[in-house]
Amino acid sequence: MKIGLALGGGGVRGLAHISVLEALDDLGFKPIIIAGSSMGAIIGALYTSGMSGREIKERVKRHIILKEDTWHDLIEKRTDLLKWINAFSADFSRGGLIKTQGFLKYLFSEIKKSTFEELEIPLLVIAADFWTAEEVVFETGDLLSAVQASMAVPGVFAPVSIGERVFVDGGVVNLLPYDHLLDRVDITIAVNISRTRAQDTKVVPNAIESVLGTFDIMQTAALAEKIKHRKPDIYVRPEIRDIRMLEFGKMEEVFLQAVPAVEAFKKELIDRHAKQLAQTVK
């Protein structure tokens, strides 16, 4: 069974992708190709470089304070926690609030792969050309610059120049790029970790929340229209509530909220595999 996996954007909520990867590992399924936008591109790059879902999660947990952590745990984590903080630096001059170079180099510090060609699983990274409004798919050449371009959320991370083109977040043009996998595999799995909005709220958003919230609305509307025309085989939609794109302090909560959707996904994948085996026997 050839599986293609699409991982969408959504900031810190994208850590829920790791739980999906863990589920695939536990069930013994390996995607033959992965496509990702924004945070999905980051997680996809880590996984296709050879790290397991569990290894990625363990690495992330070294840089957050867990509820069960003791003082001894915090002392052991102090170096990693400081590295995480230092990975973010302001970048007001180039159209963003945070530089991506330090953040990405930090995330990729243990990865020995620098190009797409070196990856163990083919990876498609989605970015948007700022000036032409075109969707651009990176699948060859330098890996770091492509991922950096894919996660350049407008107003948050600075746009990225590659050659003579300027790129911003891939989610602007394709939040969940499962359409690039449909004709390449037997089963396409799409993981949407966009924000689940609270209903009937009268809270007025601040400036940055207004920008990011509007970004979410546009992405959600575009994805809904795409799904009307052609759906992925398996659609995974974790209900992640009350966690904004940049609330990295809530990473542990992301993992907890993703559990029900991941368990349902595992059951659906097992059922599909069983049906496919039964058809093969016939």
What is the tens place of the pLDDT at every residue in 151-163? 888 777 788 999 9
- Pull the structure tokens for residue 6: 């699409």
Round to whole Å and give the CA distance between 234 and 268.
Answer: 8
Round to whole Å and give the CA distance between 262 and 248.
Answer: 21
Round to whole Å and give the CA distance between 30 and 57.
Answer: 17
To which residue do tokens 């083109």 refer?
A: 165
At 179-230, the pLDDT tens digits run 999 999 999 999 999 877 665 566 776 666 666 667 677 777 778 888 888 8
How does the average pLDDT of the chain come out, rounded? Answer: 81
What is the pLDDT confidence band of residue 178, given thresholds at 50, 70 and 90?
A: very high
Round to whole Å and give the CA distance between 268 and 262.
Answer: 10
At 88-120, the pLDDT tens digits run 444 444 444 444 455 556 666 767 788 999 999
Round to whole Å and give the CA distance between 19 and 15.
Answer: 8
Judge contact between 176 and 190, C-beta under 8 A: yes
Q: How far is CA 44 from CA 55, 83, 156, 165, 187, in A?
A: 13, 22, 21, 23, 17
pLDDT of residue 73: 46
Judge contact between 55 and 25, C-beta under 8 A: no
pTM beyond 0.85? no
Round to whole Å and give the CA distance between 35 and 19.
Answer: 17
pLDDT of residue 169: 92
Q: Which of 18-32, 230-244, 267-281 has the highest mean pLDDT?
A: 18-32
